[in-house]
A and B are shown apart, each in its own frame.
Chain A
Amino acid sequence: MAFRFGVPIRRLARAAGALALALAAAAAGAQGVTVFAAASLTNAFEEIAQAYRAQGGSPVKFSFAASSTLAKQIESGASADIFAAADEQWMDYLAGRKLIEPATRSSRLGNTLVLITPASGRRPVDIKPGFDLAGMIGNGKLVTGDPAHVPVGRYAQQALTKLGVWDAVAPKIARTDNVRAALLLVERGEAPFGIVYGTDAAASGKVDVAGAFPADSHPPVSYPFAIVAKRNRPEVKRFFEFLYGPEAQAAYRRAGFSFR
């Protein structure tokens, strides 16, 4: 065996080669999947990822925030594999910039839009055109996502406009940067009213649903999923399919989403 500085060369070279191969395999294989998802999907997705792991699937990392925030981050090059938005507009935003794999885009989840109050036994509100929401809010605030960019806020604005009460209510709106922050403020009793998704209200034990917005008052709440451009590795595709699989569907229904 050839020695150099007292070290067996060929044996070292073989060991180094084996190590390199193993690392490459690891890199290519179980790298983990990164999912950027709308805040309202938090509970359901975490449950689904646990089930996936239990079945032997790769670890999944999540970043939950407003769809607007996430879309902007992906646009700036954030390292996401899958994007799950809470409205079509933000998916359109990325699609228009060729930042998603168009063939993978589909929307099968739906949600309801509800008016909530702190859990204090307030009586239900009849949501119909012209209802005096502004009067009910009084000197307080109505909390929801920022209508300028957060999906839940957009839906809220559309619904309130359709019902003819937007102009009266708009000055009383407190904007948060995602739906879960709005939920938190109503849970803590800071505001008499909030507008969030039905699934959020169901997940929280500290708010009451005063009423649901009629489905025709706003565009259907739709959750488009897509794989981010150039990210369709086998393990990403596997988890993406799992997101529409039977275990996932059960999780969605448990949370209160509708599934097509």
Chain B
Amino acid sequence: MDPGSAAAVAAPAVADARQSAPMLEVAVRKQLGSFRLDAAFRTDSHGLTALFGRSGAGKTSIVAAIAGLLRPDEGRIVADGEVLYDPERGIDVPAERRRIGYIFQDARLFPHLSVADNLRYGWKRAPAGDRPISFDAIVDLLGIGHLLERRPRRLSGGEKQRVAIGRALLAQPRMLLMDEPLASLDAERKSEILPYVERLRDELRILIVYVSHAVEEVVRLANTVVLVDDGRVVAQGTPESLSHRLDLRPLLGRFEAGAVVDARVAAHDDARQITRLEFGGQTLILPRLDLAPGARLRVRIRSRDVILAVERPTALSAQNVLSGWIAEIAREEGPYAEVKVDFGAGAILARITNDSVNRLALVPGKAVYAVIKSVAIDGHAVSAAPLDLD
């Protein structure tokens, strides 16, 4: 995926096609057996909004309602200024007229059509003369040119999803819904597809609602995270801000808990094979990254990889000793506690024992040092950060 390729040339043409910043307003109430769905959120600009939560939290039902495949009992759905669902005004636009692309977890390519015919299916049904997203551009963007004559049953899982993405885009949608598109893929395929989703977000500038229960995907892709639990929207915000909320930790996953940090590549040191990152006035040192200086990226620092000290430690192998103060302590019922360390323009979390909290007499406001091994910084979570939103 070379930024200098044909796709990069095509991208500006595709990007121009997105005229205004679409807006999405969703309110859905529905009784599904014994499960009650009552969720509402809005997002004011394009970019990727992740619906994050456990399996069974209701995320798929929400996107199904947005697409028009599920009819709520009550609610309101407005996309791009057009009311799609409003029972009080008797409006319920059928799914086939909502112009909302949907990428399913199981791809759902039509088995009796070739890849090329699958791609063209939605394209043929979009109003002629208003098809800014072109066939060739999408084929290039997703790298599926060599697959066009094949039948879906001869594609790998990753190839199927790329074709599914292309098919949805060629229908000229006003926005995209992606329902756990990587869930049925193995780790290698996932890392193959993730960059394509990033390109959709950054180059096509199309509003994406992305359902996932995987933290790494959300951290890497989302501009906004909508946290869904038991049918309700519990919180909404950037990955960074949500990751700092200790009250949400149970929902964000115990073992994967950590802070998301929005950083910038400051410099590389080839002799020492390290890279310096800057965030909120602090410096992080990592093993050498392959990113240009000035590049923005998100980094996830797992809280169990952070050590706290009340005196500045010396002669450590750990490369990172950050100085800040305790913002918040959340003691758990067991032996653990989660501590939020603030640096003014950034924060991270540390997971230590209650015993240590007592021993070091940690209280909010106290000055501390946070020690992080450079190798502990989650390499997989390192990615180009989403571009600034308009």
* Complex A–B touching at CB under 8 A: no
Write the residues of chain B forming the contact surface with A, with a CB cutoff of 8 angstroms: none
Give A contacts to B, CB under 8 Å.
Answer: none
